Amino acid sequence: MFEKIEELERRYEEIQAELSEPQVVNDQTRFRKLMKEQTDMGSIVEKYREYKAVKKNIEESLELLDSESDPEMRELIKEELSTSKQRVPEIENELKILLLPKDPNDEKNVVVEIRGGAGGDEAALFAAELYRMYSKYADSQRWKIELVSVNESGIGGFKEVIFMVNGKGAYSKLKYESGVHRVQRIPVTESGGRIHTSTATVAIMPEAEEVEVNLDLNDCKFDVFRASGNGGQCVNTTDSAVRLTHIPTGIVISCQDEKSQLKNRDKALRVLRAKLYELELEKAHDAEAEAKRSQVGTGDRSEKIRTYNFPQSRCTDHRIKLTLYTLEDVMNGNLDQLIDSLTAADQAAKLLKMSEMT
């Protein structure tokens, strides 16, 4: 492991030297490429330098112990030595995590699709609450939300909502949210006060670049229609809404959030690319079933991943057996503890698999 990191450190220093050369500074394409390469390995190099500093501190502390006779000073040196020795395995583990293969989609924007499942109107209400939960979480991360389409129910719920989350690292955080979300509570439509169980499905898809998906526009059928629902006079009186049908797969996407037909068409194509890219990812996952099993639920829409129990103010993630009794905070978009725990569990599973292979 350390041989590989030393090579990375040497390359890091080479890049630093190259970036100061005038011919590189004047070549913006090369300059940006080198900057990205340096950024990608920066956290590993920084952690390795911390590791070397701790190891050096251990050596120096041992030397001081041999030469120091004052009892108080020896005690201080021993304390520092003990702290440094404890830090060594911690940094080694952090380095192993940093060296894990990166998901190439982690830095991408995402397309999110939420649908009401079992439970009728209550499921639609829950789907709308999940949309608000993710919107608030996106705000906390300083990501931008773009609504693509929404199919509302009669009492303020969403039968389906599709939106984009644009921001650095959006997929790395949200990829664990795909699956079935279950809610247990007394619905507003229930007169008898009985607790019902309803579900909503969440699909998280990394946004695909044009070069990543072979999309032939001849396979696409575009229909325009007048937008309905909220949106103002201009939206509701012009044929600005777009319905995109991908003939080979039968995927249909409607977009009416923008006043411009061209903007709605562009959004619909972005969603279609994400869906086609997701289909390709699923094929790759199926071909690597063992690798898929090692992950902490990052894509199976039929998997029940989480329960939101309102009477007990309880939120349970079934994949990692984590239960929080802060449901109100979770519904207000405070998802860091859930997402950080899922990320840590996924990293631990990958580290275990890597150790079994060596």
pLDDT by residue (tens digit) across 302-349?
Answer: 679 999 999 999 999 999 999 999 999 999 999 999 999 999 898 888
> pTM, whole model, 2 decimals?
0.72
CA 117 – CA 96 distance, rounded (Å): 40
pLDDT on residue 231: 45
Q: Note the pLDDT of residue 202.
A: 95
Confidence band (pLDDT; 50, 70, 90) for 260? confident
357: number of Cβ within 10 Å: 6
Which run of H or of E encompasses 197?
Answer: strand 196-206
CB 331 within 8 A of CB 134: no
Burial class (CB in 10 A: 0-12, 13-18, 19+), 126: buried
Find the mean pLDDT for residues 124-130: 95
Class of domain 110-348: alpha beta
Taking residues 251-270, what's their average pLDDT?
85
d(CA 144, CA 135): 9
Say if residue 160's pLDDT is above 80.
Answer: yes
pLDDT of 113 above 80: yes
Residues 315/181, Cβ–Cβ less than 8 Å: no
Asked whether the beta carbons of 347 and 149 are under 8 A apart, the reply is no
Tell me the pLDDT tens digit for each residue of 17-67: 988 898 888 888 888 888 888 887 888 899 989 999 999 999 999 999 988
How many residues are given for the chain? 358
Query: Which residues face 220 on adjacent strands?
Result: 246
Range 251-272 average pLDDT: 86
Q: Region 204-213: what's the mean pLDDT?
A: 81
CA-closest candidate to residue 156, choices 182, 181, 179, 123 = 123
Average pLDDT in the chain = 85
Least confident of 192-201, 228-237, 301-310: 228-237
Cα separation, 182 vs 166, whole angstroms: 26
Q: pLDDT value at position 3?
A: 80
Q: Is a pLDDT exceeding 60 seen at residue 295?
A: no
Q: Which whole number is the average pLDDT over 94-98?
A: 84
Helix (H, G, I), strand (E, B) or coil at 174: helix
Average pLDDT over residues 84-93: 91
Q: Please choose, from the candidates 89, 9, 85, 3, the residue with its C-alpha nearest in 3D space to the C-alpha of residue 46.
A: 9
Comparing 104 with 338, which gets the higher pLDDT?
338
Provide the residue ranges of all domains of the chain, joining segments of one domain with +: 2-99, 110-348
Strand order from edge to edge, sheet including 220-225: 220-225, 241-246, 251-255
Mention every residue, 6+ apart, whose C-beta is less than 8 A from residue 324.
Answer: 314, 315, 316, 330, 337, 338
Q: Tell me the chain's radius of gyration from C-alpha atoms.
A: 26
Judge contact between 13 and 38, C-beta under 8 A: no
Provide the pLDDT for residue 208. 85
Query: Among the listed ranges 138-142, 278-282, 342-346, which one has the minimum average pLDDT value?
Result: 278-282
Residues 6+ apart with CB under 8 A from 88: 51, 54, 55, 58
